[in-house]
Amino acid sequence: MKFKPLEILTHIILILGVLLMVLPIWFSFATSTHDNVSIMTEGMKFFLGESFTHNYNEVLNEKGGWSEEVTAARMFVNSFIMALGIATLKVVISAMSAYALVYFRFKLAVPIFWLIFITLLVPLEVRIFPSYKIVSDLGLTNTYTGLILPLVASATATFFFRQFYKTIPDELLESAKLDGANSWRFFIDFLLPLSKTMLAAMFIFMFVYGYSQYLWPLIMTTDEKYWTVVMGMKIIFTENYEGVALPRTGERFAYIILSMLPPVLVVVILQRWFIKGLIQTEK
Amino acid sequence: MSFLELQNITKIYPNGTKAVNETSLNIENGEFVVFVGPSGCGKSTLLRMIAGLEDITNGEISLDGNIINKIDPSERDVAMVFQNYALYPHMSVFNNMAYGLKNRGISKEEINNKVNDVAKLLEIDQLLTRKPSMLSGGQRQRVAMGRAIVRNPKIFLFDEPLSNLDAKLRNQMRLEIKRLQRQMGVTSIFVTHDQTEAMTLGDRIVVINNGVVEQVGTPKEIYSKPNTKFVAEFIGSPQMNLFNCKIENGIAHIADMKINLNNSTNIDDATLGIRPDDILISDNGKHSCVANLVEYLGSDMIIYSKIGDQEFSCKLSSKINLNAGDTFKFEISGTSVHLFDNTTGSRV
């Protein structure tokens, strides 16, 4: 088989790109399997070590934090609940609001859409104090509701769903009407199945968004039971144990590797839908 | 009382366009009626108002004795076949056909039976598990019809359903639609801009122009006695020749040609229409002209020529030997012409 120079070049670029993305992760993983002394003396590792079970066991089960009560496992559960709640509600709410905006002719639909749209300019970090005030007045600090609720509206997703619904031909709606579908049935039987790909994509994005929230849970939670993974990354395994000043780098890398798993799983599971949707062009 | 009655139906769109103006029409049970007219004449709007997809600005529609103006489309018991079929892309052929029945709460077993029966009738029983994207144009068309038939509605509404098919398939589906309609005897309204479809399908034809009904009648009536100049021009292929003329004492003057109408009409500004195949070419014809262009169509040919500065065409058997540039003699019989008063536009 003969390769053209251009093909060789493009492949080299692609391979470099892959290495650029995969190597740091591999380094982290390899390092996470060594004991702290060798990491301290020899630096980052490329080959696997022998402390895999020790480090990962330590990470999942050691009680950390100030009160020494919260484990990393607990933080994973918290993060998962938060990300799942945010992603699900964001997708549901924006699909429904886009449906209202596109299919129901009410006055001010366009201004309302733009009003939703400009909230893109006001991310959570900008409105974090008013948000905190409201959530705390409602008594929702240190609850899952408090973690999730202020983040469930999404202008981006609403916008994407709106654009998608606009491409669905009117005849489909009319035909469905003649077949006796009411507004609710049309949404459930037509729009949702037709936007499967869209739903999967949005869910992935929103899950990762929810999972990587840092500032909001940091402000929101005073009770360690509600700490999330991303917060924990800064907080746990940093304390020095009674004069033994050896950084616990091995455990921290193990923690980082573990923290990457849930988003990766979500992508892997949902990508089947994603690709299916890309292959079958159903219009 | 007729099965479907339209009384003084008017449709004005929010932007002020008057799509349909004071239209009244009665359609009997089992009839196949075709709405025909140029695009934008309001024929589709009229159909959509019957279906309930457009509000009615003014007037009353009654179906089977009930006024249906305010009744929801799903409860009117009408089925519609759309131009682009509007099949549900994410559902199998079976589910496409079953969806309307499911919404009516019909039992699964009955749905199965009905869908299978109709699928057999339309010869799509092999395709029931496929998605619409895997079907050809003709098959999609059948599924769209099947979806309408399976509901057993009071009326079928067809909105230019054949316009997306190629010519051969179109003829085939046209015949099939006619056959099915005869077989089932369901009242049907078919919208088209194609006069061949209109002539071949309709028990009665409704010619619509600018939101107004120009003429209602059987294909034969419409063809042989067009009520208005518009109908005369619209129906028939090639188009009817229309000459501006002056009629004095039953004699029509077109440039220097005189045609005896055998009556005593007097109209200053009239239009005389004659179908291209009613112009008789013969060696002892009274009039003669030069053939500017000859179109050969196989069994027939069409000759384009001029009387004074008015163009006309005649259709004749291609057995006659005539080439462009030749002079030919012809005869126009006073009984085969159509006369229209230009001030009113209607037939004299």
Report pLDDT digits (tens) over B85-144.
Answer: 899 999 999 999 999 999 999 999 999 999 999 999 999 999 999 999 999 988 999 999
Three-state DSSP class for residue B49: helix
Read off the pLDDT of residues A155-201 as tens digits, 9 standing for 90 and up.
889 998 999 999 999 999 999 999 999 999 999 999 999 988 888 88
| CATH code of the domain containing B314 | 2.40.50.140
Burial class (CB within 10 angstroms; exposed 0-12, middle 13-18, buried 19+) of A213: buried
- Most confident range, picked from A64-68, B37-41, B68-72, B108-112: B108-112
Are residues B219 and B334 part of one domain? no
Segment A19-30 mean pLDDT = 92
pLDDT at residue B285, as a whole number: 85
- Give yes or no: residues B271 and B227 share one domain: no
Q: Answer yes or no: is pLDDT of A219 > 50.
A: yes
Which of B53, B90, B104 is nearest residue A282 as measured by Cβ atoms? B90
Looking at the fold, whether B56 and B153 belong to one and the same domain comes out as yes
B250 and B220 fall within a common domain: no
User: At residue B276, what is the residue type?
Assistant: P
Residue B101 is part of a domain; what is its CATH number?
Answer: 3.40.50.300
For chain A, the farthest-separated pair of C-alpha atoms sits apart, in whole angstroms, at 78
Over residues A22-28, the mean pLDDT reads 92
Maximum separation of any 2 CA atoms in chain B, in Å: 76
Residues B21 and B156 in one domain: yes
Same domain? For B84 and B191 the reply is yes
pLDDT band with cut points at 50, 70 and 90 for residue A126: confident
Distance CA A51, CA A59 (A): 12
Instruction: For chain A, list the domains and their CATH numbers.
Output: 67-236 (1.10.3720.10)
Q: Check residue B202 and report its DSSP letter.
A: -
pLDDT at position A243 over 70: no
Which residue in the block uniquely carries the two structure tokens 């060594």? A34
Residue range B179-197: average pLDDT? 93
Distance between first and last Cα of chain A: 40
Q: What is the pLDDT of residue B346?
A: 87
Cβ atoms within 10 Å, residue A101? 20
Domain check: are B135 and B207 in the same one? yes
**Cis before B238? omega within 30:** yes
Give the distance from CA A206 to its chain's centroid: 5
**CB B216 within 8 Å of CB B239:** no
Report which residue type is found at A234. K
Beta strand B187-192 with B32-36 is parallel
Amino acid identity of residue A193, one-letter, is: P
Average pLDDT, stretch B260-268?
83
Range of the domain at B35: 4-234
Residue A113: which residues within 8 A CB-CB, separation 6 or more? A101, A158, A162
Q: Are residues B172 and B113 in the same domain?
A: yes
CB A64 within 8 A of CB A234: no
pLDDT bracket for residue A245 (50, 70, 90): low
Tell me if residue B220 falls in helix, strand or coil: helix
Angstrom distance (rounded) from CA B301 to CA B294: 7
Partners of B89 on chain A (C-beta within 8 Å) are 194, 282-283
Q: Do B74 and A179 touch (CB under 8 A)?
A: yes
B96: DSSP letter: H
Of A172, A181, A280, the CB nearest to B103: A181
pLDDT of A236 reads 67
pLDDT tens, position by position, A94-114 = 999 999 999 987 788 888 888
Q: Work out the percent of chain A whose per-residue pLDDT is above 90.
A: 32
Q: Could you tell me how many CB contacts below 8 A there are between chain A and chain B?
A: 63
Mean pLDDT for B241-265 is: 86
Contact B205, B199 (CB under 8 A): yes
pLDDT digit string (tens) for A256-272?
888 888 889 888 888 87
- The secondary structure element, H or E, covering residue B45 is helix B43-51
Average pLDDT score over residue span B15-40: 92
Average pLDDT, stretch A244-264? Answer: 82
Cα–Cα–Cα angle for A7, A13, A18, rounded to 5 degrees: 125
pLDDT (average), residues A119-139:
87
In chain B, the N- to C-terminal Cα span, in Å, equals 32
Taking residues A31-38, report their average pLDDT. Answer: 84
Average pLDDT, chain A: 85
Greater pLDDT, A205 or A277: A205
Chosen domain end from B200, B234, B268: B234
Query: What is the number of other CB atoms lying within 10 angstroms of the CB of residue A156?
Result: 16
- Residue B122: inside a domain: yes
What percent of chain B has a predicted confidence (pLDDT) above 90? 64
Using the predicted structure, report yes or no on whether residue A2 has a pLDDT greater than 80: no
pLDDT class of A244 with cuts at 50, 70, 90: low
Percent of chain B having pLDDT more than 70?
A: 100
In a domain, B346, yes or no: no
Q: Can you tell me the distance from the alpha carbon of A13 to that of B74, in angstroms, rounded to the nearest whole number? A: 58
Choose the mutation target among B53, B83, B147 for the interface with A, i.e. most A CBs under 10 Å. B53
* Per-residue pLDDT at A283: 42
Last residue of some domain: B234, B266, B298? B234
- Sign of the dihedral defined by the CA atoms of residues A187, A189, A190, A194, in that order: positive
Question: What is the side-by-side order of every strand in the sheet holding B287-290?
Answer: B279-281, B327-332, B287-290
Separation between Cα atoms, residue B302 and residue A77, nearest integer Å: 84
Average pLDDT over residues B296-312: 90
d(CA B254, CA B330): 15
At A207, the pLDDT band (50, 70, 90 cuts) reads very high
Shared domain check, B287 and B226: no
CA-to-CA distance for B203 and B180, rounded, in angstroms?
Answer: 14
Summarised one tens digit per residue, pLDDT across range B61-70 is 999 989 999 9
Q: Are residues B217 and B261 in the same domain?
A: no
Closest to B312 (Cα-Cα) out of B337, B328, B292, B286: B292
Interface test with B, best of A178, A187, A188 (most B CBs within 10 A): A178
Q: Quote the CA–CA distance of B346 and B348 in Å, as a whole number.
A: 7
Nearest-angstrom CA–CA distance, A29 and A257 = 6
Say whether pLDDT at B231 is over 90: yes
Average pLDDT over residues A26-48: 84
Burial (CB count within 10 angstroms: exposed 0-12, middle 13-18, buried 19+), residue A282: middle
- Over 70: is that where the pLDDT of A280 sits? no
Say what the pLDDT of residue A1 is.
62
pLDDT band at B293 (very low <50, low <70, confident <90, very high): very high
Whether residue B294 sits in one domain with residue B169: no
Task: Give residue A63's pLDDT.
Answer: 72
- Contact residues, A window 72-111, toward B, CB-based 8 Å cutoff: none
- Contact assessment for residue A151 and residue A216, using Cβ atoms and an 8 Å cutoff: yes
Please tell me whether residues B157 and B293 are part of one structural domain. no
Mean pLDDT of B203-213: 94
- Name every chain B residue with its beta carbon within 8 A of the beta carbon of A175: 80, 82, 86, 88
pLDDT (0 to 100) of residue A62? 74
Token pair for B63: 């179906």
The pLDDT of residue A66:
62
Tell me which residues of chain B have a C-beta less than 8 Å from any C-beta of chain A. 51-53, 73-75, 78-80, 82-84, 86, 88-90, 99-100, 103-104, 131, 133, 147, 151
Based on its alpha-carbon atoms, the radius of gyration of chain A, rounded to whole angstroms, reads 24
Residue B348 in any domain: the answer is no
Which residues make Cβ contacts (< 8 Å) with residue A194, sequence separation at least 6?
Answer: A168, A282, B89, B90
How many residues does this entry show for chain B? 348
B275 close to B313: Cβ distance less than 8 angstroms: no
The whole-number pLDDT of residue A282 equals 46
Q: Are A229 and A237 in contact (CB under 8 A)?
A: no
Query: B26 - beta bridge partners?
Result: B5
Residues B333, B330: Cα–Cα separation, whole Å: 10
Q: Domain end: B234, B255, B276, which one?
A: B234
A221-231 pLDDT per residue, tens: 888 888 888 88
ipTM value: 0.83
Cβ contact, residue pair A282, B84, below 8 Å: no
Question: What pLDDT was estimated at residue A18?
Answer: 96
Judge contact between A131 and A140, C-beta under 8 A.
no
Sequence-distant (6+) residues with CB within 8 A of B334 are B259, B260, B261, B262
Q: Which of A105, A107, A179, A189 has the most B C-beta neighbours within 10 Å, making it the best mutation to test the interface with B?
A: A179
Count of structural domains within chain B: 2
Three-state secondary structure along chain A?
Answer: CCCCHHHHHHHHHHHHHHHHHHHHHHHHHHHCCCCHHHHHHHCCCCCCCCCHHHHHHHHHHCEECCCCCEEHHHHHHHHHHHHHHHHHHHHHHHHHHHHHHHHCCCCCHHHHHHHHHHHHHCCCCCCHHHHHHHHHHCCCCCCHHHHHHHHCCCHHHHHHHHHHHHCCCHHHHHHHHHCCCCHHHHHHHHHHHHCHHHHHHHHHHHHHHHHCCCHHHHHHCCCHHHCCHHHHHHHCCCCCECCECCCCHHHHHHHHHHHHHHHHHHHHHHHHHHHHHHHCCCC
